[in-house]
Structure 1
């Protein structure tokens, strides 16, 4: 087990109605003029107004930047960066799924320090203190509310830039599962498998430790039995609550143990073909797990038991067989497409698959995998997805 440096939000409020604590959090971080960073869907669904009215009732007026996009880009965050640079905001509030939260992380840092997103990308570790950030997730997926990571696409060369450091850790997080009740089935599935991937990868990572293990196993035990339920019945409050907490715990786990090969390979798929992040993880998870099991058979068997598909008495090989069967069955039930079914053209895929493998390796994530692949092995796994 490696030594782990644990980084978490300074404050967290978890449970139904947790949003009511937002004004207290704003004041606790020294804020009085917030910028709410969100997207058009949160405005349309009324969640943005719900947050603004909670603030208003406490005498706090906030402005809104709602031009964030799914899979945020260098250009989509610039409007928010400019607002921070030209305004007198002293706290950023992020509302939405992983994309608005990731956008807000970059806005809170770049709004204060300037530059381009490439200036902040890995291997640089960014520790400067941007504006305080309060994250309010509305999907059970990325765990971005408790990670020191943001991923922003540089459109100039279709590359997802991984930005890492304590600068990107939210100061506070509000985990209110009621905000996820209206999330549609497709998004529920994609974000749910993303959270499951976070937990599995954190547990099998070469950087795993006792602390992250405890979070990862707890996350799997919450996500495994509830993912199908929320996909088929989004109004099931108990299942939504389990998924939301599972997502947060999975975020804490991978934030402190790192992700591995699935995420390393997932980012280029998203950058080149605009596949949502959770969906590309789902496409990869069965094949990468099958590739990796020989190097960490006991760990993957633990995952099978935590998810609930293997019994405590199952031997390692049996448990891993059940894990692989479950990951394939889950993708089938949650209607996860192949790349071809998603609409990617074979010629386009063949033209960039080598570059994708190079970008995956350059991200560093494959180096955390129990079985570390060569470029040719990554290309072979990509081709399996077809």
Structure 2
């Protein structure tokens, strides 16, 4: 069997890494940048940290700051038109998952106009051309969109989020500078950190995992277990470690897939506008318990990564439960919601959620095949 790994051409990491942006733009022969971000990052001055560098280097740019959380199809289409009108030849995606995902969709459609409806990009799209070159600059430590071949768009008309998987969309370069992440509010550090943990755990236990992806995911789990609590409280060193842990997990899961946690989280975002990482945090430990008997010895590795005492010697059933409880305890300690009713779900909404989750592109990557009825039962247990 052949295993495929797709990663960025170039990555820069560490505090001050942003200084490499303008020199790289010049070295690569680009002439004008199209900076995609959101209104919050524009208003708080984060975007200015990019534009100041571009101004200093006399490098032309335009800004598209209309990105909204859980970006809808119409947001992408407006961005495509703005990019085409700009005359730019490189895209800079600055932000968390929403600006990064929007940048990917715009870059893909600008190079593959037959997908201008956006909806046809769902799943594994048959694009022929690489996206307009994208430089991914994350401001959160969670989605790892700067190094993945995935992005998520919202079909607002049908109240659903859909996943697009396309090797042509990966940014040519990632700049992971923790200086951009220190100012995240605590709630965002928690949500994005739980998103990164979900990526690492689901990528570790998915049937498509193999030795290289396992090495990436297990290292990411170790780093998150050691740093997320401290990062949430503003510890600068822990924030930096979370930035790297997120990227490391992204390198892995982008190439092997995810599972039912993401399959169930996407409908919570699409129908109830629940922040993605928050939704993952609600679901992760319960779905881990659902999957436990289908994971071999991997929960032992997770328990060891979390520092569970005696994990190496425990019998398998006990260590599996210990791993699940370690994740549940972290979620509780961070103050993340633990019930879907906390994001507005009631009994009446369960059927639609189950339908959406069963059809989600991530769900088949789960180690335990899930029926639509089992998915509904999992949601119902979390009301």
Give the corresponding residue for 1:385: 382
Question: Using the alignment, how far apart are the partners of 2:326 and 2:370 within structure 1?
Answer: 24
Q: Is the 1:140–1:180 contact (alpha carbons within 8 Å) kept by the matching residues of 2?
A: yes
1:20-77: CA deviations, max 9, x gaps?
0001222344311000000111112211111111112122021101111111111222
- CA RMSD in angstroms comes to 1.5
Contact 1:91/1:131 (CA < 8 Å) preserved in 2?
yes
Please list the CA deviations of residues 116-156 of structure 1 after superposition, one character each: whole Å capped at 9, or x if unmatched. Answer: 11121114344521210000001100011100011000111
User: Which residue matches 2:370?
Assistant: 373
Matching residue of 2:117: 116
Matches of 1:345 and 1:321 in 2, distance apart?
27
The match for 2:332 is 332
Kept in 2, the 8 Å contact 1:287–1:384? The answer is no
Offset at 1:312?
A: 5.4
SS of aligned partner of 2:351: helix
Indicate the residue corresponding to 1:27 in structure 2: 26
Deviation at 1:113, TM superposition (A): 3.0
3-state DSSP class of the match of 1:93? Answer: strand
SS at match of 1:119: helix
Identify which range, 311-320 or 212-221, moves more after superposition.
Answer: 311-320
Q: Secondary structure at the match of 1:13?
A: strand
**How does 1:11-50 map onto structure 2 within 5 Å?**
11-50=10-49
Which residue of the partner structure matches residue 186 of structure 1? 187
CA contact (8 A) 1:310 1:323 kept: no
Cα shift readout 1:309-344 (whole Å, capped 9, x = no counterpart): 3555332333322222222222222222222223x1
* Equivalent pair of 1:265/1:356 in contact (CA under 8 Å): yes
* Secondary structure of the structure 1 residue equivalent to 2:74: coil
Partners of 1:113 and 1:147 lie apart in 2 by 19
Cα separation, 2, equivalents of 1:87 and 1:119 = 25
Residues in 2 aligned to 1:318 and 1:214: alpha-carbon distance in whole angstroms:
24
The answer (yes or no) to whether the contact 1:127–1:166 under 8 Å persists in 2 is no
Shift >6 Å, 4+ stretches: none
Q: Distance in 1 between matches of 2:309 and 2:262?
A: 25
Asked if structure 2 preserves the Cα contact closer than 8 Å seen for 1:93 and 1:135, the reply is yes
Alpha-carbon distance in 2 for matches of 1:340, 1:363: 21
1:56-135 alignment, distance < 5 Å:
56-114=55-113, 115-135=116-136
Determine the C-alpha separation between the residues in 1 that align with 2:299 and 2:41.
37
Cα deviations by residue, 1:250-284 (Å, 9 ceiling, x for unpaired): 11110011001111111111101100110111111
Of 42-51 and 24-33, deviating more is 24-33
What count of residue pairs does the alignment treat as equivalent? 379
The 1-side partners of 2:374 and 2:169 are apart by: 32
3-state SS of paired residue (2:67) = coil
* Contact in 1 for aligned 2:203/2:213 (Cα 8 Å): yes
Secondary structure at the counterpart of residue 192 of structure 1: helix
Aligned twin of 1:361: 358
TM-score (norm 2): 0.95
Task: Tell me if the contact between 2:340 and 2:379 (Cα under 8 Å) persists in the aligned partners.
Answer: no
Which consecutive residues of structure 2, in runs of 5 or more, have no partner in the other structure? Answer: none
Distance 2:327 2:311 in 1: 19
Structure 1 portions without partners, runs of 5+? none
CA distance in 1, matches of 2:192, 2:336: 12
Query: Secondary structure of 2:151's match?
Result: strand
Mapping for residues 272-351 of structure 1, pairs under 5 Å? 272-311=271-310, 313-315=312-314, 316-337=316-337, 338-342=339-343, 344-346=344-346, 350-351=347-348
Q: C-alpha separation between the residues in 2 aligned to 1:119 and 1:59?
A: 38
